[in-house]
Amino acid sequence: MAAPVIHWFRRDLRLTDNLALDAAARTGAPVIPVFIFDPAILRGRYFGVPRLAWLIKTLAALDARLRRQGARLLIRQGSPRRVLAELAAQTGAAAVYLNRDYTPYALRRDEDIKRMLNIPVYVFDDGLLHPPGAVLKPDQTPFAVFTPFKKKWLTLNKTLPVGQPGDCFIPAGGLSLPFDDLPTLAALGFDGNFKTPEAGEEAAQRRLYDFLARRIHNYQTGRDRLASDPDDDTRGGWSFLSPYFRFGLISPRQVYWAAREAYREAGTPEARRSVEQYIGELIWREFYAHILHFHPHALDGNFRPEYDVLQWRDEPNDLQAWTEGRTGYPVVDAAMRQLQHMGWMPNRARMIAASFLTKDLLINWQAGERFFMQWLIDGDPAQNNGGWQWTAGTGTDAQPYFRVFNPVSQSQKFDPDGAYIRRWLPELRGVPLPFIHAPWTMDSPPRDYPPPIADHAFARERALAAFGAARQNQGDAS
């Protein structure tokens, strides 16, 4: 029998349209599937326990699929370099196949592994339709502005999805190795009982086809509506695919080509614009991955250095009120409580919460970025950082610093009947609709809900002054 090869699963926890796995299977050698819990990630600043719970659940689903083929997922803990070296020595593996992770830590780790292992390591660009370096300006430098990036991205040829490999995995009985049980949160040293979505590649496929059948043609207007339940057809227009993208339960190629087909089938100009809007969101995902690849310093501070002198407020009590959903602004508080209940919230809710922290409270966006990463099951360093810096106005191609969301008008526009607020703030369920967005305006406000911790009109002027002063100081310094 030919020497086996190793497929190292990371952020590609699926069998279908998995480029590295497909290449490994095409060698004709039996494939050893392995996942490694990397302690550097479990201790890292971007770690989140709810996301780990989601990961464990997705790994269980992947292992179940492998068991149906007579194989099993090898689970290991420790330094990936050490684990892979030991596994190669134990099995006589001829090569390692993996899909690229574009985060700075992962790129350094993988280069180290390629140098140190005594067998070839084959790396594939699976997680993006166009990897960093493929979408460049005419002078061969990377884009830092979204619109020209998008225009160039749309002109490039897109590869079609590949299928699921056949019976390529080494049978579980063919490995004289211990199969460790999938660890629990407690076994990994963490506490928590988190409700997470249905996991697995098959669940991701159902989610995609549900979105295509019921929501994509309403995406342009529906994506901004605030709703408690991502399956609420009457209010939500989003895909809820981000948790499945996070660990690669579905491929960007499949989603892109499915959206292209939905565009072809769209019956109205409005429906076609909705599909175009959704494809635009897929491109934003790739744009932020490219930005982080070429500008890793963005993880450590402002993308735009003129804001390095900005005088943020150091107010732990205000930050705590924001994290606890006790700011006195119902839409902000509903968003923060949904985050800590579901590990997810609609993008509009993320922007409202982020704008309130960075503009109304004038607290450094990095505090919010870290908090979101602690809770989001779809938390991704590139996407989260890009979103926070966009809202704060410190990022590349960010919204203008003088754009400050009014939490009351945002609430009235995107939660007009107050259903989102009432779902997540039970203390406000009895508040009449005319006051649900600003309960402090009632003659007798609810006793168990706090008054606003900031006056929006005053806070807006304070933020504009602080951002304007930072820009002026930078101009004077230059």
For residue 107, give Cα distances in angstroms to 124, 177, 296, 379: 13, 29, 11, 18
For residue 274, give Cα distances in angstroms to 49, 302, 315, 346, 407: 34, 32, 41, 17, 26
Res 478: pLDDT: 45
Domain regions of the chain by residue span: 5-126, 201-294, 305-477
Q: Which of 8, 238, 344, 365 is catalytic?
A: 365
Res 228: pLDDT: 57
Q: Which of 202, 284, 406, 440 is catalytic?
A: 284
C-alpha 308/C-alpha 473 separation (Å) is 10
Is 281 catalytic? The answer is: yes
8 Å CB contact between 160 and 15: no
C-alpha 58/C-alpha 45 separation (Å) is 22
The CATH class for the domain spanning 201-294 reads mainly alpha
Is 324 catalytic? The answer is: no
Is 284 catalytic? The answer is: yes
Is 157 catalytic? The answer is: no
Q: Which of 86, 202, 276, 281 is catalytic?
A: 281
Q: Which of 54, 238, 322, 388 is catalytic?
A: 388
CA-closest candidate to residue 337, choices 422, 269, 398, 431: 422
Is 312 catalytic? The answer is: yes
Tens digit of pLDDT per residue, the chain (478 long)? Answer: 689 999 999 999 999 999 999 999 999 999 999 999 999 999 888 899 999 999 999 999 999 999 999 999 999 999 999 999 999 999 999 999 999 999 999 999 999 999 999 999 999 999 999 999 999 999 999 999 999 999 999 999 999 999 999 889 999 888 888 888 899 999 999 988 888 999 999 999 999 999 999 889 989 888 898 975 666 654 557 899 999 999 999 999 999 999 999 999 998 999 999 999 999 999 999 999 999 999 999 999 999 999 999 999 999 999 999 999 999 999 999 999 999 999 999 999 999 999 999 999 999 999 999 999 999 999 999 999 999 999 999 999 877 888 899 999 999 999 999 999 999 999 999 999 999 999 999 999 999 999 999 999 999 999 999 999 998 876 555 4
Q: Which of 347, 406, 440, 473 is catalytic?
A: 347
Q: Which of 202, 218, 276, 312 is catalytic?
A: 312
User: Domain 5-126 sits in which CATH superfamily?
Assistant: HUPs (3.40.50.620)
To the question of domain 305-477 being in CATH 3.30.750.24, the answer is no
Is 427 catalytic? The answer is: no
Indicate the SS3 state at residue 202. helix
8 Å CB contact between 407 and 372: no
Its sign, for the CA torsion 354, 356, 359, 363, is: negative
For residue 68, give Cα distances in angstroms to 62, 64, 65, 165: 10, 6, 5, 14
